[in-house]
Structures are given as structure tokens and as C-alpha cells.
């Protein structure tokens, strides 16, 4: 009987390919053991690399937060100094005297000789220096003020080619303005000498620059209609005057300042006056070097743990740097080649090297700056403006008046340098482990039950929900067939689970995309009443005008494409203004501000959105040759949002504010943005409003205003 069994076993062995289960089991155990050792080594390598990355990220995050605190503290101190400098008796007295002198100066005109001397200053002194510094050409009288008072002021003081670090000469004309200017300089120039500001500018409430410590070509110009009306200084002036509060301080973004030969500057602007009212505006020109000193740690990167390539820098919403690059400071010769290789244009790189600074010149790129500009804080490995791949820690800066982000970075090559030594040690350890495992596999292969136990273990893992578990399936024996069947079963279970998870995630995504989270939660809980009341919500109800005529000659696909193009433009404007889209119609658009996210300026955002929609329609017209326009109604008040058809998930918005906005939308055929009195009181001064025809609501006439 035993002989027959042996013969049968040999026959089965030949039929299966010649190797016994024991032989194949030994081979399988050896292979699995070797692979397992390799996996352990790979896991150790990956974990080591991730540990090093985590350490670098922690360090960069700490330095990012340190620099954030330092730059915030610096600008906060400048804001406090600006408030103190502008609200004392010396500043108020100087402002009043300068204003009076300026008014007297308005009746004076330059003689032909004086006018020629002023023109000679521009032609022979200022413009050659400006054109040499910027590489641009300017008209001979581009910066000569149009007002007589402005020209006289420049003749008296700007022609001296004064600088903030030397005294201003008395022009000797004996005018009240000259006397007031010299007395003001004795106070304001001390801010330059003792504190270190690069310039101090004083303007009257009409926007006339009546004093500058540097005596630049901005003296005598007007910030509302002069050559610098588009500058950050003019913007800060307008905000301070509009606020009309002695406690208001405005910090501007950095700009290239023409009177400073195009050098980057930033301003801290505050009103001059007291509780009885303001008489003028004081602007302190903050040295960019202060910001660079903070962001570079005064050049002591390695002492502060940044290694050879680490740094922190600032960038604006325009993705241009607001502080200097470490690489430019340490290696200006190699900087241009490095940034050009990374995507910066050769002209920009050459201008950076000539200027000796990257502020407002060096573009930044990569997911880190994009995420920070979008308001996110985090850390990741990404491409940067130089050096290829870097580990970065990024965040937006919370500083009033500036839309900046901060990035701390270190090149990945330096950050992961210790991985080389770690990998060598790990490889030797893994080879030793693999040898030991191979010897143990020879012993363990004698046990026939080991594969069965492994299969049983895999079954338990699958029963616990680990559907990624797999069993080795080499060979053609019975155990291989069993393992193969097991793997197919696990794959089928995993596929079903993935389908279930995907469907659940898709349902959740759809719910969140069409309604607020609070309503979505009620819907999931099976609530019967799916509605919520919201107070102080701004509603925009807009209607396209002329789309039917435009689409009359289009086929269905072209009409849909055009409509999608318009709606995408509206959605982009909504995202930029912080407005929530509620419902999109074929010829209209319903949106709200302050519905899901309460906002104190929802009326302003709603009007900005409506104006932006008209601009988007105009861009569409420019692209397509269409003549569409838009009529939008804006109201604010209480609204109700909810699901009006549970079976089909129709989310909508209704209430008096929605009704009135819709009435404004359909009240006439004239395009434009029309707002109610409630909106007007909130945005007055921010937009130019003209009174339009009233509409009748519930039998009563309601005033309507049109955004000019």
C-alpha cells in the first residue's frame, strides 16, 4: 500500500511540474524572507527620510513664526511712532502753518527765469539720474506740478536737490511758506536723523504735498490728480482722509518710488490733527533695509540654524518678493544664472543684480506661495524661485494694509544630506538581516503548517477589514490555488468597499456643494423642515441683457458654451469678492454675501461683485463681439435658505431681501447695478451712487440708487 502511495505521489509530482510542495515551500520561504528583509530596509529608509524631513520642517516652521513675530513687531512699532509723530503739538502746528503758507503761495507764479531754472534742474540733474537708475525715458516736465504753488515750492526747495540727511537752505524769499517749511523741517527732519526713516512727507487735505524731508520731486505734487496719484502713498492718503479719524494709521505695500529714483519704499500714513479735526496727513517712508535686516537675521543664517541654503523671505499677492534673497546677498555672481535656470527672465535677473535687491523684482513660484496667498498655512516639498526643490514652511501675514506671505525654505539636497550616511548604515544592516533570515528559512521550510498558518492569518486580517492583505501565489499546487482564490476574494471585497466609500464621499461632496453644512447635517439626520433664517445678508440678483438676441444664431452647443463662459466668469468674481453663489439661471445669477460666513462688509462685497459681473460681461463682449450687458439688484436684510424639494435636493434662498433684489433686477431695461437705501447707507463713500427711479414694493415706493 505504501509503495502505491509513493508511486502516486511521484506521478502527481510529475504532472504538476517536478517539484514537491516541500521543495517549492522552501524556495517560497527563502524568496519571501529576502523580500521581507528588503521591505524592512526600504521602510527604514523611508522612515529615516521622513524623520529628517519632519525635523527640517519643524525648524523652518519655528523660524517662520519667529520672523513673523519680528516683522509684525517692527511694523507695529512704526505705526505707533507714526501716530505719536502726527498727533503732537509740533506736527499740528507745522501742518497749520504749512497749509496757510501754501494757500498764500497759490497766488504766486514763477518768473521766466525761475521757471527755466526749475526746468534745468529736471533736465540736468534729476531726470538723468532717474533714467540711469530705472533704464526708462521720461518727459522733461513729467514731474513738474501743474499748480503754481507746486511749481514755486519745487523752485524754492526741490531745486536744492536736498537730501534727508543734510539741512535745507533758506531760499531767502521771505514768504510765509518758506518760513513754515524751515520750521517744519526742524521737527520732521529729526525723525529721519534719530529714528532712521528715509523720508517724511506732509500733505494737506486736498492732497497737495506741502513738505518732504528729502526735498524730492514729490514736493508740490497732488496725490489725487498728480503724477503719483496711482502710488501706494496716494492710496494711503485717500484711506486716511476718508476715515477722518486722528487714530487711523494706514500701512501701505512696498512700491517703486520715482522721487527716490525708483528705489522700493513703503509708507506708514497717519492723520495730523486732534479731536477737533485733522489738518493734514503725515507719511513716514520706512527703509526697506529694516525689513531685509529682520528677514535675513542680519545675515547670520548659519548661526540661526539655516545651514548653507536656508532663508526666510516675504512675497506679495502678486508673487513678487518683498525682501531680499540670501543667494543674491551671498553670491551675486551666481544668482542670475541660478534664477534664470529656474524660470526667471534674463532681463529681470540682470535688473535684480544691478539693483542689488530682489524686492518687487524677483518672481516667486511653487505651491507654497500659491497656498499662502490663498490664506493657507503649512509645509511641503515644492519648487521654489531658485535651487530647484526645497522644503518650505509658509503662512500668510496678518498685518493691516499689506497682503504679504512669509516663506521659510531650505534646499532639499542640503536637508536630506544626512540620509546618505544613514542609507549606507541601513544597507549593511539589511544585508546582514537578509543573510540571517535566509538561514532561518531553511529551517522553517521543514514545517508544512507554516503556509497554512500564514493563510489563516491573512483570513483574520481580511475579516478585520484589511482588504489589502495578499498571500503569495507562486506555483501550481493546491496551496497556490487556495491562496489565489483567497486573493481574488480579498480583491473583490476591497473593490466593493471602495465603491461604497466612493459613493458615500460623493454624496457628502454633493451635499456640501449645494447647501451650508448646517442644512446638510439636518438633511442627513432626516429632518422634515430644512430651512434656516439668516440676518444681515446681502443679496445680488442679476439678469443678463441681450443674451437671447446674441444666442439666436448659435446652435445648442455654442449657446451652452457661451453661457458656461459667462457663468464661469461670474463664479470667479464671486470667489474673489467672497460672495456665495446660490442659484444660476439661464439668463441670471442669484448670490449672497454673509449667508454661510457672517461678514461685517457684506454690502460692500455684494456691490463689488455686481460691478465685477458687469466687468466680466464686458470682457466677454470684447472676446466675442457680443453686446451683452447686465442689470443687477442688490439689497440687504433677513433671508431664509433651505431645501424646497427634498426628493430632488433643490436648495434656494427667499425672503424680503431676495424679493426686493429681484424687483430691482426687473424694474427696468437700463443696464447697471441698482441698490436699495439699506445698501446705500452701508457703501456710501465707497462707490459713486446716483439716484434712480423708485420701485413699488407692497404698494409703497422704495428709493433706488444706481452705481455710477
Q: What is the pLDDT of residues 174-215, one digit of tens each?
A: 899 999 999 999 899 888 888 989 999 999 999 999 999 988
Residue 633 grid cell: 439688484
Residue in 116, 161, 401, 119 with CA at minimum distance from that of residue 259? 161
- 433 — pLDDT class (breaks 50, 70, 90): low
- Residue 303 pLDDT > 70: yes
CA–CA separation, 28 vs 34, rounded Å?
A: 10
Burial (CB count within 10 angstroms: exposed 0-12, middle 13-18, buried 19+), residue 162: buried
Q: Are 25 and 445 in contact (CB under 8 A)?
A: yes
176: Cβ–Cβ under 8 A, 6 or more apart, which residues? 97, 100, 101, 104
Under CATH, to which class is 517-707 assigned?
A: alpha beta
- Residue 11 pLDDT > 50: no
Alpha helices (H) along 135-175: 148-156
CA–CA separation, 70 vs 60, rounded Å?
A: 15
- Partners of 268 in the beta sheet? 251, 284
- Calculate mean pLDDT across residues 297-308: 88
Residue 263 has a pLDDT of 92
- Residue 43 pLDDT > 80: no
- Residue 491, number of CB atoms within 10 A of its CB: 13
The model scores a pTM over 0.85:
no
- Residue 244 pLDDT > 70: yes
- Partners of 263 in the beta sheet? 257
Residue 413 has a pLDDT of 83
| CATH number belonging to the domain at 87-286, selected among 3.40.50.300, 3.30.70.1560, 3.40.1190.20, 3.30.450.20 | 3.30.450.20
Residue 411 has a pLDDT of 87
- 403 — pLDDT class (breaks 50, 70, 90): very high
3-state secondary structure at position 585: coil
What is the rounded radius of gyration, in angstroms, for the C-alpha atoms of the chain? 36
> Is 291-415 the same fold as 87-286?
yes
Residue 13 has a pLDDT of 44
* Torsion sign over Cα 199, 265, 122, 111: negative
Q: Where are the beta strands (DSSP E) in 45-176?
A: none
- Residue 35, number of CB atoms within 10 A of its CB: 13
Residue 464 has a pLDDT of 81
- Residue 306, number of CB atoms within 10 A of its CB: 22
| CATH number belonging to the domain at 291-415, selected among 2.50.20.10, 2.120.10.30, 1.10.540.10, 3.30.450.20 | 3.30.450.20
CA–CA separation, 250 vs 283, rounded Å?
A: 9
Return the higher-pLDDT residue of 467 and 250: 250
Q: What is the full DSSP assignment across 494-551?
A: HHHHHHHHHHHHHHHHHHHHHS-HHHHHHHHTT-S--EEEEEEEEEEEEEEESHHHHH
> What is the average pLDDT value for the chain, to the nearest integer?
84
Residue 175 has a pLDDT of 92
- 472 — pLDDT class (breaks 50, 70, 90): confident
Distances, alpha carbon 65 to alpha carbons 224, 290, 394, in Å:
38, 18, 10
CA–CA separation, 337 vs 344, rounded Å?
A: 9
Residue 665 has a pLDDT of 80
Residue 128 has a pLDDT of 92
Q: Give the containing element (helix H, strand E) for 369.
A: helix 367-373
Q: Are 602 and 579 in contact (CB under 8 A)?
A: no
DSSP letter assigned to residue 167:
P
Q: Give the containing element (helix H, strand E) for 75.
A: helix 21-86
Residue in 227, 255, 290, 222 with CA at minimum distance from that of residue 77? 290
Q: Which of 43-47, 490-494, 661-665 has the highest mean pLDDT?
A: 661-665
Residue 451 grid cell: 503556509
CA–CA separation, 81 vs 622, rounded Å?
A: 49
| Mean pLDDT lowest among 379-383, 475-479, 482-486, 554-558 | 475-479
Q: Are 372 and 394 in contact (CB under 8 A)?
A: yes
Q: Are 70 and 402 in contact (CB under 8 A)?
A: no
Q: Give the containing element (helix H, strand E) for 634.
A: strand 629-645
476: Cβ–Cβ under 8 A, 6 or more apart, which residues? 16, 17
Residues belonging to the chain: 708
Cα 54 to chain centroid distance, Å, stands at 25
Question: pLDDT for 505-563, tens place per residue?
Answer: 665 665 555 556 666 666 666 665 677 888 889 999 999 998 988 988 889 899 999 99
Question: pLDDT for 681-696, tens place per residue?
Answer: 999 889 999 988 888 7
Residue 414 has a pLDDT of 82
Question: pLDDT for 646-677, tens place per residue?
Answer: 555 566 788 888 888 888 887 777 899 999 99
- The angle at the Cα of 176, spanning 171 to 180, to the nearest 5 degrees, equals 80
Q: What is the full DSSP assignment across 270-322?
A: EEEEETTEEEEEEEEEE-HHHHHHHHHGGG-TTTTT-TTT-EEEEEETTSBBS
End-to-end CA distance of the chain: 108
- Calculate mean pLDDT across residues 565-592: 88
- Calculate mean pLDDT across residues 346-375: 90
Residue 3 has a pLDDT of 44
List the chain domain ranges: 87-286, 291-415, 517-707
Residue 616 has a pLDDT of 94
Amino acid at each position: 500500500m505504501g509503495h502505491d502511495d509513493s508511486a502516486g505521489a511521484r506521478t502527481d509530482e510529475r504532472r504538476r511540474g517536478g517539484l514537491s510542495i516541500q521543495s517549492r515551500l522552501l524556495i517560497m520561504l527563502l524568496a519571501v524572507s529576502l523580500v521581507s528583509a528588503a521591505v524592512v530596509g526600504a521602510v527604514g529608509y523611508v522612515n529615516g527620510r521622513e524623520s529628517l524631513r519632519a525635523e527640517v520642517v519643524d525648524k523652518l516652521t519655528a523660524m517662520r513664526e519667529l520672523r513673523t513675530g519680528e516683522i509684525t513687531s517692527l511694523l507695529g512699532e512704526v505705526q505707533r511712532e507714526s501716530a505719536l509723530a502726527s498727533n503732537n503739538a509740533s506736527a499740528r502746528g507745522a501742518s497749520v502753518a504749512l497749509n496757510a503758507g501754501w494757500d498764500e503761495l497759490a497766488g504766486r507764479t514763477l518768473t521766466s527765469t525761475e521757471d527755466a531754472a526749475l526746468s534745468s534742474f529736471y533736465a540736468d540733474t534729476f531726470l538723468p539720474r532717474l533714467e540711469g537708475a530705472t533704464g526708462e525715458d521720461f518727459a522733461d516736465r513729467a514731474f513738474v506740478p501743474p499748480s503754481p504753488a507746486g511749481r514755486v515750492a519745487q523752485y524754492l526747495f526741490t531745486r536744492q536737490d536736498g537730501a534727508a540727511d543734510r539741512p535745507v537752505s533758506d531760499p531767502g524769499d521771505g514768504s510765509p511758506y518758506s518760513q513754515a517749511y524751515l520750521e517744519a523741517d526742524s521737527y520732521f527732519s529729526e525723525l529721519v536723523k534719530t529714528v532712521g526713516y528715509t523720508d517724511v512727507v506732509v500733505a494737506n487735505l486736498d492732497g497737495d504735498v506741502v513738505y518732504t524731508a528729502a526735498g524730492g520731486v514729490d514736493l508740490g505734487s497732488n496725490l489725487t490728480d498728480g503724477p503719483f496719484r496711482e502710488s501706494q502713498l496716494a492710496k494711503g492718503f485717500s484711506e486716511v482722509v476718508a476715515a477722518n479719524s486722528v487714530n487711523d494709521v494706514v500701512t501701505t505695500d512696498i512700491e517703486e518710488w520715482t522721487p527716490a529714483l525708483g528705489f522700493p519704499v513703503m509708507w506708514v500714513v497717519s492723520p495730523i490733527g486732534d479731536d477737533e479735526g485733522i489738518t493734514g496727513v503725515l507719511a513716514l517712508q520706512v527703509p526697506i533695509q529694516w525689513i531685509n535686516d529682520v528677514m535675513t537675521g542680519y545675515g547670520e543664517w548659519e548661526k540661526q540654524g539655516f545651514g548653507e541654503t536656508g532663508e526666510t523671505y516675504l512675497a506679495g499677492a502678486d508673487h513678487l518678493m518683498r525682501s531680499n534673497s540670501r543667494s543674491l546677498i551671498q553670491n551675486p555672481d551666481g544668482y542670475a544664472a541660478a534664477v534664470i535656470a529656474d524660470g526667471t527672465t534674463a532681463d529681470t535677473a540682470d535688473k535684480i543684480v544691478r539693483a542689488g535687491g530682489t524686492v518687487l523684482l524677483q518672481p516667486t513660484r511653487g505651491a507654497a506661495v500659491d497656498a499662502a496667498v490663498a490664506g493657507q498655512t503649512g509645509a511641503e516639498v515644492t519648487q521654489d524661485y531658485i535651487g530647484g526643490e526645497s522644503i518650505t514652511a509658509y503662512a500668510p501675514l496678518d498685518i493691516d494694509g499689506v497682503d504679504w506671505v512669509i516663506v521659510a525654505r531650505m534646499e532639499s539636497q542640503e536637508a536630506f544630506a544626512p540620509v546618505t550616511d544613514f542609507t549606507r548604515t541601513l544597507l549593511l544592516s539589511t544585508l546582514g538581516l537578509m543573510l540571517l533570515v535566509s538561514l532561518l528559512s531553511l529551517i522553517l521550510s521543514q514545517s508544512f503548517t507554516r503556509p497554512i498558518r500564514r493563510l489563516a492569518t491573512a483570513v483574520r486580517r481580511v475579516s478585520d477589514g484589511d482588504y489589502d492583505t495578499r498571500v503569495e501565489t507562486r506555483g501550481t499546487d493546491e496551496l497556490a490555488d487556495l491562496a489565489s482564490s483567497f486573493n481574488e476574494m480579498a480583491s473583490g471585497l476591497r473593490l466593493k468597499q471602495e465603491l461604497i466609500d466612493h459613493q458615500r464621499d460623493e454624496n457628502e461632496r454633493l451635499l456640501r456643494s449645494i447647501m451650508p453644512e448646517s442644512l446638510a447635517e439636518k438633511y442627513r439626520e432626516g429632518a422634515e423642515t430644512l430651512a434656516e433664517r439668516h440676518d444681515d445678508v446681502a443679496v445680488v440678483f442679476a439678469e443678463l441683457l441681450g443674451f437671447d438676441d446674441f444666442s439666436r444664431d448659435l446652435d445648442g452647443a455654442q449657446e451652452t458654451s457661451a453661457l458656461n463662459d459667462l457663468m464661469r466668469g461670474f463664479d470667479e468674481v464671486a470667489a474673489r469678492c467672497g460672495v456665495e453663489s446660490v442659484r444660476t439661471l439661464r439668463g441670471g445669477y442669484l448670490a449672497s454675501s454673509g449667508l454661510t460666513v457672517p461678514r461685517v462688509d457684506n454690502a460692500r462685497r455684494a456691490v463689488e461683485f455686481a460691478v465685477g459681473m458687469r466687468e466680466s460681461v464686458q470682457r466677454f463682449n470684447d472676446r466675442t463681439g457680443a453686446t451683452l450687458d447686465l442689470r443687477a439688484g442688490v439689497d440687504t436684510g433677513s433671508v431664509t435658505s433651505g431645501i424646497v424639494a427634498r426628493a430632488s435636493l433643490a436648495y434656494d434662498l427667499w425672503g424680503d431681501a431676495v424679493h426686493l433684489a429681484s424687483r430691482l433686477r426687473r424694474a427696468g431695461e437700463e443696464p447697471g447695478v441698482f441698490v436699495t437705501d439699506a445698501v446705500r447707507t452701508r457703501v456710501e463713500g465707497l462707490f459713486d451712487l446716483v439716484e434712480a427711479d423708485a420701485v413699488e414694493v407692497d404698494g409703497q415706493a422704495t428709493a433706488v440708487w444706481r452705481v455710477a
